[in-house]
Chain A
Amino acid sequence: MTMNPKIESKNVNLYYGAFHALKGITMSVQPNTVTALIGPSGCGKSTYLRLFNRMNDLIPGIRIEGDVQIDGKDIYSKSLRVDELRKKVGMVFQKPNPFPKSIFENVAYGLRVNGLNHASFVEERVETSLRQAALWEEVKDKLKKSAFELSGGQQQRLCIARALAIEPSVLLMDEPASALDPISTSKIEELIYELKSKYTIIIVTHNMQQAGRVSDKTAFFYLGELIEFDDTQVIFTNPQNPRTQSYVTGRFG
């Protein structure tokens, strides 16, 4: 591990009011890898994920301590603009959440809000993003149609395309396949595998097999603590911590 880490968190504590949601998390993520965050519901893995694009800022009464760095820069420093950070760190949510706009405008949204309005540029970028998200062939004839006409799996790939359109370097995925059927899920997983070459991906998942299939590294969270963080293979075959062992073997959680 000689490379500089893409993402690094040092002793991060997070409180919702009096509730201590993340307890001293220290972890670093290498570029162009997929890191899976696993753990039972309420263990803080989604909260931890939302730390990296500062989505937690929206919640009133939240308090964050510690140091979170992306590309060696403190993303919680006062001089950093949140919207600039979010352009670099894309996010895909648990449920497909397209805008009530056309398929084209959904993907173009990120470009437009960033002032990139040149027609041919937008068209080109929309096509590239949809191709990257393996959706282009299915929607190329109905770009003007409402995004709500797509199936759930297509909507989720549309949301991925939307996140890719602004060319982030990090992609955060919060249980991106939890609302989808097995076929759509496997498409998303293939996609994650392909996107790895260009992006650093952190994915929260409840699905052990999924974590095993797509990720290089896996972090196990429990009650706000990072219990174990290692190569996915190690976590699933030879975990060091007994709690990790019982979770990945399905004895609790």
Chain B
Amino acid sequence: MTLKRFIEKLIEGMLMISSSISALAVLLIVLFLFKEGFSLFSTSPLENHNVIVVSKGNPIEKLTAPQIKDIFDQKITNWQTVGGKNDTIILFTINDVSNYFSEEEIGENFEYLPEKLSRLTDSIPSMLAVYPDKYLAKDFKGKTVSVAKNNIPDFISGREWFPTAEPAVQLGVLPLILGTLMVSFFAILFALPVGLATAIYMAEVADERLRKILKPIIELLAGIPSVVYGFFGLIVIVPLIHDTFNLPVGETALAGSIVLAIMALPTIITVSEDAIRNTPRSMKEASLALGANKWQTIARVIIPNSMSGISAAAILGIGRAIGETMAV
């Protein structure tokens, strides 16, 4: 008797330990993600420990990452645009060293470079120079321009996504978020009606033999890797959209939505079909016994009764589709 109780307690304890371990693991992963993610916001968008320097007389104190990008893309060519004097910006990066100095002047191990660079910025007032901070002279006479750090509001509302831009990266995820939302919204819009219709057909209309053939096939579809769906989208759907709407390119959000919808379909169909079939027979009979026909029964009793299962199906299906963005 005591042994039995001891075993019961033991099993209880083991269950508790395993559940708390899994909960802890999930929590740790989330914490890790946030820790790693937030460290981004305390770093400067400048790559490779670069500094931006200007001459002492230049009134510019700060530049933003988009401004730097525009300057390097030659879209901004005058200091006035960023709040300085009316003067043309002369760009200098570490790659331009050989245009200004000979190898002898720099020295074999770049030992004279910091001093040369310091003098160079001083001598050309309208120069904007970018080079690694290890070449910044100790008695540097010009001044370094501070660049606004990555921050959360800009991260979320920024429209530009250039994570590899030189010399300053731009991390605006707004278009990414909006794109994902739009594509998944339209994917749900396509997939849910079709999936629900198929599920209803399989659960309530199709005869048993047909269902036994259809169900494994649809479940098999859920196992196809997303690359295959993506390939299918690229080969079939993209040209189709291209031709139908007479667009220059077919790689639109619509194509993405359709591929995602197709990917989500098998999950939506099987899960919601199970939910629909789980409607108690007594409930269906009650409805039919009151003179409701088959379709009234489906619309008024079976669907409302399996609503939680159907919404779970939609979430699972779209979750899979969004999770495996490979296809898009």
Contacts and interface: CB of A to CB of B under 8 A. Distances in A.
Interface of A: 53, 55, 58, 60, 83-84, 86-87, 90-91, 93, 95, 97-101, 109-110, 112-114, 159, 162-163, 166
B306 to A, nearest CB: 10
Interface residues of B, number: 19
Interface of B: 207-208, 280, 282-283, 285-293, 296, 300-301, 304-305
Contact of A86 (B208, B288, B301): B288
B285 A93 contact: yes
A247 B286 CA distance: 31
Contacts of A101: 304
Given A93-B286, A113-B296, A113-B300, A100 B305 contact: yes
A58 B288 contact: yes
27 contacts: A53-B289, A55-B289, A83-B291, A83-B293, A84-B291, A86-B290, A87-B290, A87-B291, A90-B289, A91-B285, A93-B282, A93-B286, A95-B282, A97-B282, A97-B283, A97-B286, A99-B287, A99-B301, A99-B305, A100-B305, A101-B304, A109-B290, A110-B292, A112-B300, A113-B292, A113-B296, A114-B291
A91 B289 contact: yes
Contacts, number: 65
Given A109-B300, A113-B300, A97 B280 contact: yes
B287 to A, nearest CB: 7
Given A60-B208, A109-B300, A99 B292 contact: no
Contact of B291 (A93, A95, A113): A113
Given A113-B300, A114-B291, A166-B291, A159 B286 contact: yes
Given A87-B290, A109-B300, A113-B290, 9 more contacts: A83-B288, A84-B291, A91-B289, A97-B282, A97-B283, A100-B304, A109-B287, A112-B300, A113-B291
